[in-house]
Amino acid sequence: MTARKRMLICWEVGANYGHAAMISQLLPWIPEEIDILAAVRDPVSFRAQISDPRIQVLAAPFAPDIKVTRKEAVGLNYPDVLRFVGWNDINVLSAYLECWEVLLREVNADILLAQAAPTALLAARALDIPRVVIGGGYDLPPRATPMPAFMHWEPSDREELLRREAAVLTVANAALKQRGYSGLATFRDLLDTDGYVLVTVPELDHYGDRAAIEPDHTPYLGPVAGLPFGEEVAWRPDAEYRIFAYLRPGNPRFETAIKALASLPAKTDIVLAAPGAPANLPDRLKSTSLRLFTGPVNVEPLLASCNLGISHASANMAANFAIHGVPQIGLPNHTEQTMMAHAFSRSHLGLGLVGKASPDQLIGAIDLVRSSEKVAKAAEEFSVRWTANDAIRTGRHAAEQVTSLL
């Protein structure tokens, strides 16, 4: 009898629903004869989207995010930003490297699938476990030395990128040495894996023209959008304009957005999914157009007849809007979201409002996108090129790439 194969899926860095959403796309296509374990940063969020009992869920080891000032928190490129998650301290990284070593040995997986899991990837490389990375752009940067700048549309200091990359590499190699392993020659060696699964499209690539940085980069597999989950909601039948907004409370952009949205006329139907928001928010705003949902909402049926999408420009929401031909506005909170807002703005799929914006400015942006024939045309053309069925096929093709290595 042939022994069953084991796959370990790892998610270590990042929050909210996007990471599990990406992983969810592969799972239906992984053969039943493969055992699946998932070591994840947030088991609760993971299980909210993926209830399949076939998958055994473990809590992933991860270093707590370092508390820094807003100015200090600006990472220039992918290796630089890892210093905020334990890669700035030899002893911290060595400790979490050991945690991953123990987990990997105990699980005894035949292959590791890493989604935003750099320390897991480092441990798997040290143990010579076959490994595949999967991502939507940001956490699968073009492989180069130095790794490309996040704000690639602005002038960058190559020497500073090299310096910061070298600092992170020094910590990684010292931690590997402490654990008795050989080091990396360059940071990109970490990403030279058995598989590199790029689940996005050129229009939504955080890094813009990827081929200009890595001419022989792995092909784009296509967009992914998370499995439908959350509360079922329908549009008001009398609405003349329909807006779906997915926003997180606790930041200035959320306050800007709700003030702007609450001021829109009653003939506008606004479905606002804002996990963690106070339930009395619409009453406080005295809005007749805004409907608040304090948990996830199933966006699939809403987007079929949605006129505008508003989010913080997460990769998952940007892809969902684009696949359904919905023009969008992004209110990014951090670097990754700023990169995505720039990507879909560059592709004329919507508009990114980067930095501080007033409610009046957001209302102006809504009017601008609403009246833009260029945006409407680009969004419609994208939805013809890349449909929801394409997103399903992307998951299947990604699973095939991974399982072909077993």
Token output for 266: 């009653």
What is the spatial distance between Cα 220 and Cα 193, in angstroms, rounded to a whole number? 17
For each of the domains in the chain, give its residue range(s) and CATH number, in order of start.
Answer: 5-223+391-403 (3.40.50.2000), 241-385 (3.40.50.2000)
- Residue with token string 């501080």: 356
Res 21 pLDDT > 90: no
H or E element that contains 9: strand 5-11
pLDDT tens, position by position, 139-172:
999 999 999 999 999 999 999 999 999 999 999 9
Q: What is the pLDDT of residue 37?
A: 98
Number of Cα atoms under 13 Å in the Cβ half of residue 214: 21
Q: State residue 226's pLDDT score.
A: 64
The tens digit of pLDDT for each residue in 372-392 reads 999 999 999 999 999 877 878
Residue 239 confidence (pLDDT):
95
- The reported pLDDT for the residue numbered 160 is 96
Q: Is a pLDDT exceeding 90 seen at residue 279? A: no
Digit-coded pLDDT (tens) for 325-381:
999 999 999 999 999 999 999 999 999 999 888 999 999 999 999 999 999 999 999
Name every residue whose Cβ is closer than 8 Å to that of residue 303 and which is 6 or more positions away in sequence.
244, 309, 320, 321, 324, 326
The pLDDT score that the predictor gives to residue 282 is 66
Rounded to whole angstroms, the Cα distance separating 232 from 301 reads: 8
d(CA 63, CA 343): 30
Contact 344, 331 (CB under 8 A): no
Q: What whole-number distance in Å separates Cα of residue 300 and Cα of residue 305?
A: 10
Can you list the pairs that 332-336 forms with residues at least 24 positions away whose Cβ atoms lie under 8 Å? 332/253, 333/248, 333/251, 333/253, 335/74, 335/75, 335/81, 335/150, 335/151, 336/138, 336/150, 336/206
Cα(130)–Cα(109) distance, rounded to whole angstroms?
9
> What pTM does this model have?
0.93
Looking at the predicted structure, is the pLDDT value of residue 227 above 90? no
* Confidence category of residue 74, pLDDT binned at 50, 70, 90: confident
Is pLDDT above 80 for 71? no
Element (H, E) at 271: strand 268-273
Buried b (16+ CB within 10 A) or exposed e, 111-143: bbbbbbbbbbbbbbbbeebbbbbbbbbbbbbbb
